[in-house]
Amino acid sequence: MKRKPLSLDAIDRRIIAILRNEGRITNQALSERVGLSARPCLERVRKLEASGLILGYGARLAPELAGHAIVAFAQISLRDHSVGRRERVERVLRAAPDVAEVQVVSGEADYLARIVAGSLAEYEELTGAWLADPQLGVAKISTTFALKALKEFEGYPLAEE
């Protein structure tokens, strides 16, 4: 079920912009930057978190420094689209530590996965196992390897009002 975007005022938008760039900022520093006292600022942050707009906070890692020489985008197509088969594949994709992100997509493929690996051989071992597993029913994996990141994913932008 799609939820409609939240109605945000200028202070909410400023809070979000600051948190996106400085997730570790203290509430005191945040409140000073947005021109609120600490308590109302914290209440706004908690409201944004409770609404589900802010999903969480975390550190973004450089793939190569984290041991991932390979970043691949894999389009995964299934032979069988039954509910049981899809659930099984989705369980495997969610559980795989090297699968950094998975989207259910439309078009020729069923899933688009961002996969990291220490080497091409590791990537081939992982995807080869999926292709060889008859319980998964993966028909095809089409891979595009990232050569250089021009802009890293840093979260979704807020839509303009």
What pLDDT does residue 153 have?
87
H, E, C per residue of 61-128: CCCCCCCCCEEEEEEEEECCCCHHHHHHHHHHHHHCCCEEEEEECCCCCCEEEEEEECCHHHHHHHHH
Q: How far apart are the first and last CA of the chain?
A: 22
In the chain, where are the structural domains located? 10-51, 70-145
Selected from 3.40.190.10, 3.30.70.920, 3.40.50.880, 1.20.120.530, the CATH number assigned to the domain covering 70-145 reads 3.30.70.920
Q: Domain 10-51 belongs to what topology?
A: Arc Repressor Mutant, subunit A (1.10.10)
Write out pLDDT tens, residues 98-135. 999 999 999 999 999 999 999 999 999 999 999 999 99
Beta carbons of 99 and 105 less than 8 angstroms apart: no
Q: Whole-model pTM?
A: 0.84
What pLDDT does residue 1 have?
61
Q: Is the pLDDT of residue 6 over 90?
A: no
Question: Beta strand 111-117 with 99-104: parallel, antiparallel or unpaired?
Answer: antiparallel
Write out pLDDT tens, residues 53-81. 999 998 888 899 999 999 999 999 999 99
